[in-house]
Amino acid sequence: MQNKGLVKFFAILFALVSIYQLSFTFVANKVKNDAKAFAGGNPDKEIKYLDSIGKVEVFNLGFTNFTYNEVKDKQINKGLDLEGGINVILQISVKDVLKGLSNNSKNPAFNKALEDATANQRGNQSYLDAFFEAFDANKGTTKLASPDIFANRNLSDEINFNMSDDQVKKVLAKKVDESVESAFGVLRSRIDKFGVTQPNIAKLGQTGRILIELPGAKDVDRIKKLVSSKAELEFWETYKAEEFSQFLGGANEALKATVKSEVKEVAKPQDSLTKLLTDKDADTTAAKKGNNPLFDKIIAQGGGPVLAVFNVKDTASINGYFKRPEIRALIPADKNNVKFVWGKPASIVDAKTKKTTETVDLYALKGNRDDIAPISGGVIVDAQDTFDQMGKPAVSMQMNGQGGRVWEELTGRAFTQKSFIAIALDDVVYSAPGVSSGPIAGGRSEISGNFTVAESKDLANVLRAGKLPAAAEIVQSEVVGPSLGQKAIDAGMISSVAGFLLVCLWMVFYYGRAGWYANAALLVNLLFLFGILASLGAVLTLPGIAGIVLTLGTAVDANIIIYERAKEELREGKSLSEAVEAAYGWKGAMRSIIDANVTHVLTGAILFIFGTGPIQGFATTLLIGIFTSLFTSIFIARIFIDRDIAANRSLMFATPTTKNWFTNFNFDFIGFKKWSYMISAVVVIVSCVSFFVNGLDEGVDFVGGRTFQVKFEKPVDATQVSEELSAAFGVAVEAKVFGDDNQLKLTTKYKIKEEGVDVDKEVNELLYNGLKKYFSGNLTYDNFVNTYDGKTTGILQSSKVGAAISADIKTNSFWAVLGAMAVVGLYLVFSFRKWQYALGATAAILHDVIFVLGIYSLLYKYMPFHMEMDQHFIAAILTVIGYSMNDTVIVFDRVREFLAGNLKGSFKDVVNASVNTTLSRTINTSLTMILVLLIMFIFGGESIRGFIFAMLIGILVGTYSSLFIATPILVDSVSKKDIEEIEKRHHANEA
């Protein structure tokens, strides 16, 4: 090997840099352990401790010191599946942005295009592109630059009515990007002040989506509300209850004709309200029978700015009543612009039954034709959480000069008229105080209401950060409990160590002392791999650990190819130095190694491009592992081999036991092709039939939905749980045993097309109410839903994938698989210079993909582990494509070498000899992979078992297809003329 000194220098340099980078991870972990010990299990105390030492020096290298904040920025971060926490993907509503830019245009073509874009948006198509497409189809003679659409005063500086649609589209695209950027800034400000360690927030390309990861966060409902709240703060004057008593009475009478009211016991507060509004005795027959559609839903009398108090579950019905034209017509003409809104829900506990009822106040705001509040949150310059005069949590605010002047006018009018001012956030009234001391100057105000301390802190936080430019809908979310994360770490460690030991033992058993050299290279490879991950600031996930464990199997692949070639050279009578030189040469093992790894890199790159989250972590470790493995296999192991040559030591690249394994193998692969074609044809046909009959178990990644991993105290009947929850939800809820028999994976599509934090909370509450009977003791809703250290029962993990994002995932997956096959096929055409090689390899890959899909289609109903089609499964398929191509390239490279060489015999004999001489390489590389995958399948954890099973099947069938499908198809596709020419040359060698 030339430049051995330079290789050693760089190897030592890389090792030192890797150790340096990894040292930050060790120091950060030590500090975190100290924080945990100090906090004694209190997460808030732990966070405060870490925040307090952020600028304290914790790492001294002699020549420089690092603070804790600097150390944690340089460490390898753990993903949510290892750390626990909450992950959400927010979709900024481009529809809302367009409405705002159009100044809420009433143009029919514009609004029709908005609705069509919502209904017809395709997978991987942005909403903006869908809107442009819909507008072009519906516009007629209308232009985007029409004065009643975008050529309005809001955009007068950028759009005029003379502009073409294409010109306006460019401006709109820019404005949408600005809105997403603005939302990104607002969310970053909110998250930075929330108080979790190492939050991550990132824009996802040009999709209008924003990823937020909060490791260690535990309060699910609170966090979802924090990140998705638009924070549209408004101040409105309100009507008094008595001003709408006649309207409520009239509405109740009008509804009697079309609405059948529920019969129920009438509470005393309702009796007085009924008497007040209907001027009838509350004890009348009508009241007892429940013939009042509106009044029967009132559970407490209103007063002041509150029209009445209702049960939270009835708000949708009330909203529906008030939207009816015949009910709206009853509103007095001078109050026609009224806005009916709800207050912040509160809980009432019945003293006798101890039953808790969620109630909410109804308000009537003095709206206007433009639906614009007298004061909006834009005038707020500061907000702080505080306590009111009663010692209850509140939020104080300071307005700017303009807001202060309007606030003084508003409070002055409220004082004179003895009226009230509603303070509403996102159309929810938090308080509606009166003014008892005259106009309030200076622009300072306070929001008080039914707050907890955490809620007042969050509200102050979002008001300081500002409002989002448009609604932010949670289209995907995942919640992982810390105990589940620790379990994943333990499973990853066991599978990593066991996989490493198995590979090492096999290499020593098969290759003797040369195997020890490969193992040394493997250790250096792991050091480099983790060092690079640390230097890149990569996030380590459970699939990422799987990628590292797989690297253990592939890291020795290049060594196997080199060692097998060296053994062949030694058998031909060459000296050790000559055999090693030939094995490491381009015509020896290097061409096969480069071709195999380039195809592997291409599939890994496609996986990284089309994957998200943990799948990108898997692709990252896989790609880095390929490059570090190549370096260590080729250069590090060579250093030890060259030392043996220099010392004149014998090195046989084998042990006495394995010396002659596969050396005299002479199987007629080409003669067997009829049988292999028949076997594969049957498999493909059976698989295709199964696709139509059984289908595939499409996970929520592909179809949308919610999944929950719920741990019970003792085993439960999955069928019974499924039936009970399906009845409670009103739609199917699938329940499957997940790992242990006291753990279920629950899946439902309930309201998956409806967005909003309230919907997510409703699902959680339905689940809690449906399952709480299976838990002993007083399991609270918070303990059931939220995550915390040491949690062993309740929801350990949950995820949600919205319909829009599932369509994108499905589209990306389809193109990723097709793209991988096309890219590697094109590379083989380029590398081998003949399309027949690409055809054989692509056919083998297609065969492998159909085979794996067929196995999953046939067995997903019967296997004791989950076999879902999701992102992890697609990652497995792409990995199978890479490894199948790896095996095929090794065989094809030998076929090319023998066909171009001087081997005697017919075309069929030469090809058979090519395949037979690669069996040792093929079986060894596949065997090391299978051993590692088996370890991961057994010890890697339930969450990745289906993922590993797909790769395990894929490696097995990929080895088969490389030998029995790819090569025969290559042979069959070679023209008769080329065969005659090849045979003529090889027969000439016989003479």
- pLDDT-derived band at 362 (thresholds 50, 70, 90) equals very high
Identify the weakest region by mean pLDDT among 132-141, 568-577, 724-733, 797-806: 797-806
Express each pLDDT in 373-385 by its tens digit: 888 777 777 778 8
Q: Average of pLDDT values for 651-678?
A: 80
Q: Average of pLDDT values for 258-285?
A: 44
Q: Average of pLDDT values for 734-756?
A: 77
Q: From CA 910, how far away is CA 897, in angstroms rounded? A: 10
User: Of 787 and 239, which is predicted with more confidence?
Assistant: 239
pLDDT at 879: 75
- pLDDT-derived band at 272 (thresholds 50, 70, 90) equals very low
pLDDT at 450 over 80: no
pLDDT at 287: 41
Express each pLDDT in 878-900 by its tens digit: 777 777 777 787 788 778 777 77
pLDDT at 261 over 60: no
pLDDT at 264 over 50: no
pLDDT at 84: 66
* Range of 466-475, 481-490, 701-710, 803-812 with top mean pLDDT: 701-710
Identify the weakest region by mean pLDDT among 87-91, 480-484, 492-496, 773-777: 480-484
Percent over 70 (pLDDT), the chain: 82
Identity of residue 159: I
pLDDT at 719 over 80: yes
Q: Three-state SS for 297?
A: helix
Helix axes 919-939, 907-917, angle to 10 degrees: 40
* Closest to 68 (Cα-Cα) out of 50, 80, 82, 84: 50
pLDDT at 4: 63
pTM equals 0.63
Q: From CA 99, how far away is CA 297, in angstroms rounded? A: 35
Q: From CA 612, how far away is CA 848, in angstroms rounded? A: 24
pLDDT at 636: 83
**Average model confidence (pLDDT) for the chain?**
77
pLDDT at 685: 92
Percent over 90 (pLDDT), the chain: 1
Q: Average of pLDDT values for 738-765?
A: 77
* Range of 44-58, 264-278, 472-486, 679-693 with top mean pLDDT: 679-693
Q: Average of pLDDT values for 698-711?
A: 79
Q: Three-state SS for 360?
A: strand
Q: Average of pLDDT values for 79-95?
A: 73
pLDDT at 902: 64
* Residue at token pair 């804790």: 68
Q: In 625-655, which positions are buried (b, 16+ CB within 10 angstroms) versus exposed (e)?
A: bbebbbbbbbbbbbbbbeebbeeeeebbbbb
Q: From CA 249, how far away is CA 270, in angstroms rounded? A: 13
Between the CA of residue 132 and those of 112, 170, 271, 924, what are the distances in Å?
A: 12, 11, 55, 56
Q: From CA 521, how far away is CA 7, in angstroms rounded? A: 13
pLDDT at 616 over 60: yes
pLDDT at 756 over 60: yes
Write phi, then psi, for 794 (nearest 5 degrees): 90, -160
Q: From CA 562, how far away is CA 596, in angstroms rounded? A: 13
pLDDT at 158: 80
Q: Average of pLDDT values for 698-722?
A: 81
Q: From CA 840, how far away is CA 961, in angstroms rounded? A: 10
Q: Which DSSP string corresponds to 17-37?
A: HHHHHHHHHHHHHHHHHHHHH
* Closest to 986 (Cα-Cα) out of 912, 921, 890, 888: 912
pLDDT at 206 over 70: no
Q: Which DSSP string corresponds to 948-970?
A: HHHHHHHHHHHHHHIIIIIHHHH
pLDDT at 913: 80
The two structure tokens encoding residue 561? 């190819």
* Range of 201-215, 585-599, 946-960 with top mean pLDDT: 946-960
- pLDDT-derived band at 804 (thresholds 50, 70, 90) equals low
Q: From CA 725, how far away is CA 731, in angstroms rounded? A: 9
Within 8 A by CB and 6+ apart from 324, the residues are none
Q: From CA 309, how far away is CA 343, in angstroms rounded? A: 10
Write phi, then psi, for 441 (nearest 5 degrees): -95, 160
Q: In 611-622, which positions are buried (b, 16+ CB within 10 angstroms) versus exposed (e)?
A: bbbbbbbbbbbb
Express each pLDDT in 101-119 by its tens digit: 887 888 888 888 888 888 7
pLDDT at 986 over 50: yes
- pLDDT-derived band at 573 (thresholds 50, 70, 90) equals confident
Greatest Cα pair distance, the chain, in angstroms, is 121
pLDDT at 363: 92
